[in-house]
Amino acid sequence: MELDFERCYRAVDSRDPRFDGWFYTGVTSTGIYCRPSCPAMTPKRQNVRFFPSAAAAQGAGLRACRRCRPDAAPGSPQWDVRADLVGRAMRLIGDGVVDRDGVPGLATRLGYTERHLHRMLRAEVGAGPLALARAQRAQTARILVETTDLGLAEVAFAAGFGSVRQFNETIREVYGATPSEWRAGRSGRQPAGGAGTLTLRLAYRPPLHAGALWDFLALRALPGVEEVRDGAYHRGLRLPHGPGTAALAPADGHIAATLRLADMRDLAPAVARCRRLLDLDADPLAVDATLADDPALAPAVAAEPGVRLPHAVDGFELAVRAVATQQVSLRSARTTLTHLLAAARSADDGPLGGLRAFPSPTELLAAPDAAFRMPGARRETIRALARAVDDGELNLEPGGDREEAARSLAALPGIGGWTAGYVAMRALGDPDVLLATDLGVRRGAAALGLPDDTKTLHAYADRWRPWRSYATIRLWRAA
């Protein structure tokens, strides 16, 4: 990835937070790296290098700045948007795949050789998959050291390190201090929330229209799986090592997240999925600038800046919900799904109490016909979807290939253009999907004085590229 020195230096000199996560500033005279908005004195040009990732800065022998905490910056928005090999790899690394399956497992999921994957990541982000995973492990370990009373050996293995020695060496290299020094110097204790409970801040690029996000999620909340109460969104999570729950609430400049985990090794994937659900790594200024160029959308963008595209914590769950919503209202679909959930009990029910994860494909396949209060054809569509995911023929994970997933979805009976588009937009994170046949989209278009017939609206929407998914959300709000 080529980083223009002058543009990057101007961003650092102005301490522009919009560029946090886009790149990192290495200061060779002090041996540290910072986020662009670091409040420290701007370093001299001859002492500055720019890096596309924290892992690349660490690979150059630099340690993280203790003042601006560059590892706590929002992630680069490209990794959610891009559908190529590097974007898919970065999403999977963020979900902890390297820690669980190693680089061979990551390469297998992506369908490329380890050598080619390493070469592509080095070219784009300045570090290979092991270095990127190491940087993420260091960040996870810092959070655990500062916010829990876990023993340091427990922190090491929960963060994904193979040994306590590796953990100590990495923390010393990345942060310039030992884990015990970090714990001794932590500023305050987090409120006690019980074993396996963590409270942390999720950063984002402003602006963020939290009301639009919470309205969207509340309208679609499934009882027993998710709910919005007291200003916070709560939901159950199915994580690689066990169940979990998340409570997410907007706060002053960040999202306050309270996570309850059966296994602390699931911290990194839980955070990644919550960030993805709320679209926290997006660049709202870039999105809004494009949409505001259309006079029809400009007033809405000015009135509600920072409207995000809610994604999903579970691609299969989102796909099932999309099928259940075909040709019925959201209220009717929620009733149907609530009955299905009561019959398809999850194996993860109960350990943490309260909310549970959406059933897995295997659990839905085991549900009797009576659990599906819907037309028989739709029931069989859901079962075909579950079989395809269970057999590995359909990949709806964050690192899945969007084009391949679209082809696999189209091959299933009962999956039409609307359903495939909705899954692409929310489960796979495609930022450029317009659901032109959607009744709510057409009503929203009519409310804004736009053409509301499918063909004309589709042609008109070319001016919203590459952010037509965000335009779809705004049209729904206008409806």
Task: Output phi, psi for 167, to 5 deg.
Answer: -60, -50
To 5 degrees, how large is the angle CA 125–CA 403–CA 460? Answer: 100
Q: What is the Cα–Cα distance from 282 to 467, expressed in whole angstroms?
A: 11
* Active-site residue, from 20, 95, 279, 438: 438
Structure tokens at 67: 């003042």
User: For residue 25, what are the β-bridge partners?
Assistant: 34, 50
Active-site residue, from 34, 38, 65, 274: 34
**Under the phi-then-psi rule, with left for phi > 0, alpha for psi from -120 to 50, and beta for the rest, what region is 252?**
beta
Tokens of 26: 């290495």
CA distance 277 to 313: 6
Task: Sort 282 into a burial class: Cβ within 10 Å, 0-12 / 13-18 / 19+.
Answer: buried
Instruction: Write the DSSP string, 379-406.
Output: HHHHHHHHHHHHTTSS--STTS-HHHHH
Q: Which tokens sit at 434?
A: 């317009």
Amino acid in the structure at residue 400 = G
Reply yes or no on whether 38 is catalytic.
no
- 438 classed as catalytic: yes
**Angle at CA of residue 251, ends 249 and 257, nearest 5°:** 45
Active centre residues (catalytic): 34, 438
